[in-house]
Amino acid sequence: MTVDVEVICIGNELLIGKIENTNAYWLAKQITALGANLRRVTVIQDVIDEIAACIQEVACRKPRFIITTGGLGPTFDDKTFQGIAKALNQKLAVNADAYETVKRKCTEFAKNHGMPGEVEMTPPRVKMAIFPETTQPVNNPIGTAPALRAQIGETVLYALPGVPAEMKAIFTESIAPEIRVAGGDCVFCECSVFSDGVVESRLAPLIDRVMAEYRGVYVKSHPMGCNRVELHLTMMSKNGEPNGWLEKAAEQLRALIAENGGKTRT
């Protein structure tokens, strides 16, 4: 059974083009490699109502996992937990475990940088430990702000920081293993055929023919200029099964291209 995932990227900086959305690209690669199906990536502003509405909309489609990125820090524009609380119709409160984690990491940072005295838990620091009441903190191996895990029916929601290094560390440690278990023995397979000498419009019916004959294989064309086209073949397969179906589709595509006067390379 295919595991569906949706990603919500939160941040005004993404929508005005200040920051390139590398988190979405990285997550797409990781989720697909785990054999899951990334159905949609949504980018929204740092607005509580928008965050809440988006989470509710995505939850209605009942993906196995929802992953948000951004908005977990100590500043005024970090509103993800508030949006999640509104989406879940829950109150916000200081989470004791998250509070101790934030305090410990702030203390360690101060000690490592030679700052004397007791670390004060200022309102911005406490803010990183204020969670919707039924959600759980998730360890952040390299940052201060804990991530969040929530259950929405059969859907698991994870809220991750927007800082790429922190997001990657949390995903790798806590989320990837859960997706892998949920997906069972489903794996992602891919290969490419490079065509020379046949324009993309002539390749289109050949692609349709191959996809009709080899069910489950998806072929996407990527023009590279001068009648050169990459044909990217993908499919989900069961772990342990031979990858022959995808290779047979690629062989058929090569033969059809040759029949139409083109040349191929892998």
| Global pTM value | 0.92
Strands (E), the chain: 4-10, 37-44, 65-69, 92-94, 130-132, 136-138, 147-152, 155-160, 186-196, 218-225, 228-238, 263-265
Pick from 164, 183, 202: which residue ends a domain?
A: 183
Strands (E), 75-217: 92-94, 130-132, 136-138, 147-152, 155-160, 186-196
What CA–CA distance (Å, rounded) separates 263 from 38? 33
Verify that 194 and 174 share a domain, yes or no. no
The domain that holds 53 is classified in CATH as 3.40.980.10
Domain count, the chain: 2
What CA–CA distance (Å, rounded) separates 224 from 123? 53
Residues, the chain, total? 266
Q: Residue 120: which region, alpha, beta or left (left: phi > 0; alpha: psi -120 to 50)?
A: beta
DSSP state, residue 45: -
Pick from 149, 183, 217: which residue ends a domain?
A: 183
Pick from 126, 157, 183: which residue ends a domain?
A: 183
Residue-number span of the structural domain to which 248 is assigned: 186-265
**Per-position pLDDT tens, the chain of length 266:** 689 999 999 999 999 999 999 999 999 999 999 999 999 999 999 999 999 999 999 999 999 999 999 999 999 999 999 999 999 999 999 999 999 999 999 998 888 777 776 788 999 999 999 999 999 999 999 999 999 999 999 999 999 999 999 999 999 999 999 999 998 888 899 999 999 999 999 999 999 999 999 999 999 999 998 889 999 999 988 765 556 899 999 999 999 999 999 999 87
The domain that holds 192 is classified in CATH as 3.30.70.1130
